[in-house]
Structure 1
Amino acid sequence: RALLAVSLNLMALLFSTTAFITTYWCEGTQRVPKPSCGKEKKTNCLNYGGNETANETNQNVVHYSWETGDDRFLFRYFHTGIWYSCEENINAAGEKCRSFIDLAPASEKEAEVFLRIKSQHFLNPRLIFYPKEPPEISTGSGLLFPGKAGAFSVLWLSVVSEVLYIMLLVVGFSLMCLELFHSSSVIDGLKLNAFAAVFTVLSGLLGMVAHMMYTQVFQVTVSLGPEDWRPHSWDYGWSFCLAWGSFTCCMAASVTTLNSYTKTVIEFR
C-alpha cells in the first residue's frame, strides 16, 4: 500500500505540473471576420472586386459588420491555459499567443457599468458607445475604476493555489518516500505516514479550489472579455482533464496513506 500511495502521488505530481504549464485547459473556435484578399492571401478571405489599396476610399467597397452574413466570417481554433491563450493565425501559418492574465475582465463594478452603457446604447443609438472598456468615471475620492481587480485577482489567486498545490504534493511525495525507504522504526514510519497524509489531503483541497477558480475566471472572461477574443464555442481540453486527474490521484494517494496508517496502528496495538 505504501508503494501504491507513492505511485499515485507521483502521478498526481506529473499530471498537475503538466497541466500547469500547458495551454489546453479550454479549447474551441472564435468567429472572426475574414481578412481581405491579397497577393499572399488567396483563400478564406474577402475579395472586394477591385484593386483598391487599403488606404483608398471607395463607396463601392462593402463594409462588413459582425451582425450580417455567415459567409463573411471564419472560425479559427484557439486553446487557453492558465498563462497564455493561443489562437490560429488566419493571416499566416502558425499561432499567435497572448497572456490570459491580460484577457481577464476588470472589476465587477466596471463590468456592471459597461453592461449598463451597452444597454443604454441599444435603447438610444445616438449615445457614444465604448466598444471595449467603459470610461473612467470620477468620484469624490478619485477614480471609480483603479484597475482590473475582479476576475484578475481571482485568476492570480488560482495561480498561487496551483503553485501551493504542486509544492504540497512534492512535500507529501518526499515524506512517503522517506517512510518507504528510510524508516528505521514503526513509530517513525507512523509519524511520516501521518504527515504525508495530512500534506496530501491539504494539497488535494487546494488543487480542487484552484481548478474551480480558474474555471470561473474563464467563464467570466468568455462573457466579459475582449470582443476580439470571445469564443463562439468552446469545451474543456486535455490539460483540464489532467488537472482533475491529478486531483483524483492525489485524493486516492491520501486515502491509501491513511488506510496504511490505520492498519499499522491496529497491528502495532
Structure 2
Amino acid sequence: MLAAVVNEFGGPERVEVAEVPVPRPEAGQVRIRVRAAGVNPVDGAVRVGVFGGAGQRLGLGWDVAGEIDEAGSGVTGWSRGDRVVGLHYGPVKPLGTHAEYVVLDASAVAAAPTTVDAVTAAALPLSGLTAARAVDLLGLAPGASVLVTGAAGVVGGLAVQLAARAGLVVTALAGAEDEALVRSLGAAAFVPRGQAPAGPVDGVLDAAVLGETALAFVRDGGAYVGLIPNHAPAAERGIRVEEQEVAPDGEHLARLVALVDGGVLALRVSETFALADAEKAHARLGVPGVRGRIVLTA
C-alpha cells in the first residue's frame, strides 16, 4: 500500500509517498481503510524534526475517516464496513493515517458522523478532541468570560463553538477580516489581532500560543489553558495555568460526533489533496491564513 512518510527532516519536499506493507491489527485493534485524513500543523512539526526520530521512517497523519477493514481478537462492536473516525496519537511512529490503511486501538475509534462526508469528518478527531479538552480544563462556570486566541483557526474555531455551548461568554481574538466568521461560530465579542480585550477575562484558551501576552488578559485568580505541552507561561497573580495534551478517546470522540450530527458543531475543510500529492499538501500547510483543515484523500 501507499503511505506518506519522512525519512529525512526538512521541507515539504522531504515527504515521500512510499510503498509499505499493509499493517495487521493485533488484539484490541482495528484496521481502517482510509478515505480521508487531516493534515495538521503537528505533521509539519514531525517533518522538520521537532519531535526527534532521526534515522527512522516516520509516518505522518493523526486524523482518520474511513471504514473498518479488519478487527483483531477481542474487539467487539465493530464490523467490516462500519464507517468510523479515529485519532492515531503519536508524533514518532512508523506509519500514520496518511496511508491507504492504518491500524488503531479500538478504543480510539468512534462511529463516523452521518451528516457529513469522510473528507469533512476527517477534520474532527485531533482538532475536536484538543478543543474539547481545553474547554474542559478551563473549569469555568456558565456565564464566565473566556478569550479564545487564534479563534479563526481550526482548533480555535471549534473551541469558540464548544465554549459558547458550555454557556461561557466568548470573546474571539483573530484577524480583522475574520470577525464575521468567529461571530457566526458563537463569539459574543471580537478583538482584532494585536489588540487587548476591553477588560480582564475569567479565562484564556490560547489557541494562538501567545503565551505571556495572553496571560496578561486574565484576571487575578483566573485560568489559562495552553494547547502545546511545555509551552505555557509561568503562573502568576494566582492564575491557574493548564496545558492540555490530546489523547485518543473514542467515547469522547463519539460525543463530538453527536454534536456534529446535531448541527451544533461545524467542521471546516480548506482544501483536499490526493495522497499522492502529500508534498503539495505540506507546502500548503505552511501558507499563512488557511481557514479550515487541509485533508488528504486515499
Q: Could you say whether these structures have the same fold, taking a TM-score greater than 0.5 normalized by the shorter chain as the test?
A: no
Ranked by relative contact order (alpha carbons within 8 Å, sequence separation 6 or more), the top structure is: 1
Choose 1 or 2 for highest CA Rg: 1
Higher strand share: 2
- TM-score normalised by the chain length of structure 2: 0.24
Higher helix share: 1
- TM-score normalised by the chain length of structure 1: 0.26
